[in-house]
Amino acid sequence: MYLILMQPGNYRRRIFSHNYVGAKPVAMMLLETMNLCIVTARFFPQLVGSGTSAFILARELQLRGHSVTVLTDASLRGNPEHKSLAFDVRYINDFEAFATGKAGFAAALDDLYKNIVTIKPDIIHACNFMPMFLLSIIKPLLCEFPIVFTFFNTPVLKKRVAGYFSNHLLDVQLGRFVIEQDAYNKMILGSKYYVAAAQSLGANPDKIRFSYLPPDIQPFLSNNSVKTDKAIVGEISPKALERPYIILPSRITAQKGIIEAVRALDIVNRKSTQRDGYNLLLTGMACPFDQKYADRVWDEIRALNLQDRIIVPASRIKREHLASFYRESKMVIIPSWYEGLGLSAIEAQVLGVVLAASDTVGLNEVVRDGFNGLTFSPRDSKSLADCILRIDQGEVDIDELTRNAKLSAKRFSIDRHLADIEACYREVLANKR
């Protein structure tokens, strides 16, 4: 193998010949490594879609030889799980607090600017509307640094756009401001629904690149069993797992349809062929910004006398353990009102677990009823219950369903997605020169 390094500024070119790059054989491969800055208000280990996607992006880009720095909220400073990361993580004061209306944006803007001019990245990658909003304000001071923009908030026109404000008009104005400012060089979006939403807000189609978001399956490669692994069972009472269980892999917030799932469980257990019915495992914790909804969930559980049927972990379930709960569940349900795509649904398909999901935006790009899963009407507990009972009563061919699901999941390739992102970066840099 020979290596040539060229370094005009921060941009480095590496040429590899007749050898391996990672585990992939190449006859001749040209790799351009970049100095990248990922800006995200939420990040690992937070179990939030935007934070998880930003983490996957940072990890995979670093594995491909790029220099990666993540700028995220200062509330994550000192997190012990960050010490093991192979890339740099720096912290922005009041980032999340500003995004949730609990602080002004002076501190966030100041820290953001200082860090970027210190890093001197080839590319800034903004993850979500609020980071892009801040970057739009200071873009005139950062004109030498191109910006790629990705959003993970799920726009639902007439209801929410950026997902930060309860007032619809404010939320719409934030989304439109970000798009109209046009401070980004390119937008790369992870579902067809995201593309349609961006265009509805006025985004220039020529600036949009589409590439399906992939799930993070790396932690799912272990074949541990929740029934035998004490480290896993320690997070949830072993007794709670004695009964067959249905898994809902989501944090506890309204748009995830938790209350609808609880009501569906009550219906199912009155009609199930299972002698003792099912438990429901909620893998996520209550959303800190929606505690009122979590209280409503528990009010509903008590009203239906389901306290001994709902399993909630005492602490965050680690990603590498989550796969074990998936595999040993009876089925996975995704009762969301809307999703940008639905990475949890794809995870279930990858693992070959029977899946039932809402027939709604985002998820309908992943699940086809009767082919690779079952679908039901969103916000409809009876429709969800009927779907579960079809599986419970043997009305569907589970083997065919899960076989098709595994094949369908191959569309959501992390290697393909990262290749698309790198191509997007190269295009932006080429146009800059």
Do 375 and 284 lie in one domain? The reply is yes
- The whole model's pTM is what? 0.84
Residue 11 lies in a domain: no
CB proximity list for 148: less than 8 A, separation 6 or greater: 123, 124, 125, 126, 184, 185, 186, 187, 188, 421, 424, 425, 428
Contact 77, 165 (CB under 8 A): no
Residue 105: strand, helix, or coil: coil
Q: What is the domain-level CATH number for residue 252? A: 3.40.50.2000
Residue 162 lies in a domain: yes
Residue 28 has pLDDT above 70, yes or no: no
Summarised one tens digit per residue, pLDDT across range 108-157 is 999 999 999 999 999 999 999 999 999 999 999 999 999 999 998 766 65
Residue 11: predicted pLDDT = 47
Residue 375 lies in a domain: yes
Confidence of residue 37 (pLDDT cuts 50, 70, 90): very high
Range of the domain at 121: 34-214+413-432
Confidence of residue 273 (pLDDT cuts 50, 70, 90): confident
Residue 20: predicted pLDDT = 29
Do 104 and 233 lie in one domain? The reply is no
Do 401 and 421 lie in one domain? The reply is no
Neighbours of 8 (CB within 10 A): 8
Confidence of residue 281 (pLDDT cuts 50, 70, 90): very high
Residue 13 lies in a domain: no
Report the distance separating Cα 296 and Cα 309, nearest Å.
17
Do 210 and 230 lie in one domain? The reply is no
Do 46 and 62 lie in one domain? The reply is yes
Residue 15 lies in a domain: no
Residue 368 lies in a domain: yes
Residue 426 lies in a domain: yes
Residue 96: predicted pLDDT = 79
Do 303 and 196 lie in one domain? The reply is no
Report the distance separating Cα 309 and Cα 270, nearest Å.
13
* Range from 58-67, 111-120, 225-234, 319-328 carrying the lowest mean pLDDT: 225-234
Do 157 and 70 lie in one domain? The reply is yes
Do 260 and 168 lie in one domain? The reply is no
Do 375 and 424 lie in one domain? The reply is no
Count of domains observed in the chain: 2
Query: Residue length, the chain?
Result: 433
Do 404 and 417 lie in one domain? The reply is no
Residue 247: predicted pLDDT = 95
Summarised one tens digit per residue, pLDDT across range 39-78 is 999 898 877 778 888 999 999 999 999 999 999 999 999 9
Taking residues 300-307, report their average pLDDT: 95
Residue 26: predicted pLDDT = 35
Residue 10 lies in a domain: no
Do 184 and 262 lie in one domain? The reply is no
- The residue ranking higher by pLDDT, 58 or 23, is 58
Do 344 and 237 lie in one domain? The reply is yes
